[in-house]
């Protein structure tokens, strides 16, 4: 009896994805629950398990675009193991010759697509760092190694080939499409301010060890800014709204998206109801997001439903930037690096840890006065965080 393996439902906003890598070979015996392949969507990379035990027959290849409900494999409970198409006997004479040049042991565990890249370009699998599950070498790892190898060649050697063309990943395509959509469908403006981080840094210094010992997570800056943004959004609801046709839709929940950088691109998991969560709960959730992002275990639900976003270019040394709101959101806060600078404090000059902040917003829905006042509110709360702690 054959069991269909179809692309499962993954939330209303996800219609499909790309088969990034097969984790089981064609003709291989699998058990129910075994992870068969990784599906890359515009939200996350998911491991799709077998829903039955038996012999696997692939119906789709790595790199194929697939949709929800599409059958991409069969599992035959009564089948016998067949030789997969990745066998060297099924390749061309050139492919078999290339394969012979690479020891079989080094090719074990590689997906057909990665194996092809390694063979065609003479890469050494041992020297490639695998970022996939369990240290598995992914397509991106192989392409990165290829780019590195080409870059190390001298100019005379590479004169005949001065460029390397690699396909964009689905996530990179979606990022590009969303950014262009955001710029084309809204009227972006950005307003700036600077924040004296002394008070927050004093609190972190005083309670850092106690906080970490009690909650098993570090007290970072993001929890302060997430809580601050929730207070500011309640004071300026238009920053938590979006345009739908000819209507303005005001969100009554405060779901804060937090930008996380991965080797595949920037993703924005969402802290739901951040206004109701403690500093510790927010920090724990952020840590969970970062861990899941690295392990490619974030779900589409964790990457959707945001009403406002925060991005922190400061972790990379950014002094100032103009972030782009995530559609359909109308605003985004940009945090930046903290620098000690001379500032006027009353009638005195003092050295303070200062951070430039930026709010980019959709001018169709948010006037400049509201945007400036919104950012000033954030500044006031961060510079006097006791208001957050006292619920003022």
In 270-345, where does DSSP find H-type helix? 279-295
Q: How far from the centroid of its chain's Cα atoms is residue 359's Cα?
A: 21
End-to-end CA distance of the chain: 65
- Same structural domain, 262 and 386: yes
Q: What is the pLDDT of residue 287?
A: 95
Q: Which of 28, 55, 76 is the last residue of a domain?
A: 76
Q: What is the pLDDT of residue 13?
A: 58
Distance of alpha carbon 60 from alpha carbon 45, whole angstroms: 17
In-domain check, residue 309: yes
Q: What is the pLDDT of residue 79?
A: 61
Domain CATH number, residue 284:
3.30.559.10
**Residue 45's closest CA among 148, 122, 133?**
133
- Same structural domain, 15 and 37: yes
Q: What is the pLDDT of residue 366?
A: 95
Question: What total number of domains does the chain contain?
Answer: 3
Q: What is the pLDDT of residue 86?
A: 43
- Same structural domain, 53 and 199: no
- Same structural domain, 380 and 347: yes
In-domain check, residue 169: no
- Same structural domain, 203 and 302: yes
- Same structural domain, 143 and 292: no
Distance of alpha carbon 43 from alpha carbon 10, whole angstroms: 10
pLDDT in tens, 198-240: 999 999 999 999 999 999 999 999 999 999 999 999 999 999 9
Distance of alpha carbon 268 from alpha carbon 324, whole angstroms: 13
Q: What is the pLDDT of residue 342?
A: 96
Domain CATH number, residue 62:
2.40.50.100
| Residues of the chain with confidence (pLDDT) below 50 | 81-101, 154-155
pLDDT in tens, 232-283: 999 999 999 999 989 999 999 999 999 988 877 788 999 999 999 999 999 9
- Same structural domain, 68 and 98: no
Distance of alpha carbon 248 from alpha carbon 234, whole angstroms: 16
**Residue 356's closest CA among 334, 383, 323?**
334
Catalogue the active-site residues. Answer: 363, 367
In-domain check, residue 385: yes
In-domain check, residue 167: no
CB atoms within 10 A of CB 287: 14
In-domain check, residue 174: no
In-domain check, residue 178: no
- Same structural domain, 61 and 157: no
Strand partners, 37: 22, 48
The H or E element spanning position 171 is helix 170-185
- Same structural domain, 244 and 333: yes
Q: Which of 97, 127, 161 is the last residue of a domain?
A: 161
- Same structural domain, 71 and 101: no
Q: Which of 34, 55, 76 is the last residue of a domain?
A: 76
For residue 314, give its domain range.
183-390
- Same structural domain, 25 and 141: no
- Render the burial of 168-194: b for 16+ CB within 10 Å, e for the rest: ebbbeebbeeeeeebeeebebebbeeb
Q: What is the pLDDT of residue 123?
A: 83
- Same structural domain, 229 and 302: yes
Distance of alpha carbon 313 from alpha carbon 337, whole angstroms: 7
In-domain check, residue 355: yes
In-domain check, residue 82: no
Distance of alpha carbon 4 from alpha carbon 71, whole angstroms: 6
């Amino acid at each position: 009896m054959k069991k269909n393996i179809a692309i499962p439902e993954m939330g209303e906003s996800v219609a499909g994805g790309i088969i990034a890598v097969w984790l089981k070979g064609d003709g291989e015996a699998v058990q129910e629950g075994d992870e068969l392949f990784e599906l890359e969507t515009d939200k996350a990379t998911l491991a799709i398990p077998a829903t039955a035990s038996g012999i696997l027959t692939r119906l789709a290849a790595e790199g194929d675009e697939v949709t929800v409900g599409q059958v991409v494999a069969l599992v035959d409970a009564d089948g016998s193991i067949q030789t997969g198409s990745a066998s060297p006997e099924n390749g061309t004479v050139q492919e078999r010759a290339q394969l012979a040049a690479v020891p079989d042991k080094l090719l074990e565990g590689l997906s057909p697509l990665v194996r092809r890249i390694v063979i065609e370009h003479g890469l050494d699998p041992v020297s490639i760092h695998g970022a996939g599950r369990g240290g598995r070498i992914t397509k991106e790892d192989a392409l990165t190694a290829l780019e590195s190898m080409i870059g190390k060649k001298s100019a005379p050697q590479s004169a005949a080939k001065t460029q390397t063309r690699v396909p964009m990943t689905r996530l990179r395509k979606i990022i590009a499409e969303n950014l262009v959509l955001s710029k084309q469908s809204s009227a972006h403006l950005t307003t700036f301010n600077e924040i004296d981080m002394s008070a927050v840094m004093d609190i972190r210094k005083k309670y850092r060890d106690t906080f970490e010992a009690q909650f098993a997570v570090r007290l970072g800056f993001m929890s302060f800014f997430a809580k601050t943004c929730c207070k500011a959004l309640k004071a300026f609801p238009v920053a938590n709204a979006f345009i739908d046709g000819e209507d303005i839709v005001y969100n009554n929940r405060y779901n804060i998206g937090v930008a996380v950088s991965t080797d595949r691109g920037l993703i924005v998991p969402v802290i739901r109801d951040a206004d109701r969560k403690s500093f510790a709960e927010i920090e724990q959730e952020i840590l969970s997001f970062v861990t899941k992002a690295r392990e490619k275990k974030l779900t589409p639900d964790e990457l959707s439903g945001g009403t406002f976003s925060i991005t922190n270019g400061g972790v990379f040394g950014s002094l100032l930037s103009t972030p782009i709101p995530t559609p359909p959101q109308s605003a985004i806060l940009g945090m930046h690096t903290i620098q000690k600078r001379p500032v006027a404090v009353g009638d005195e000059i003092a050295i303070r840890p200062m951070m430039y902040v930026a709010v980019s917003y959709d001018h169709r829905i948010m006037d400049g006065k509201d945007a400036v006042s919104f950012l000033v509110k954030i500044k006031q709360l961060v510079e006097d965080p006791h208001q957050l702690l006292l619920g003022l």
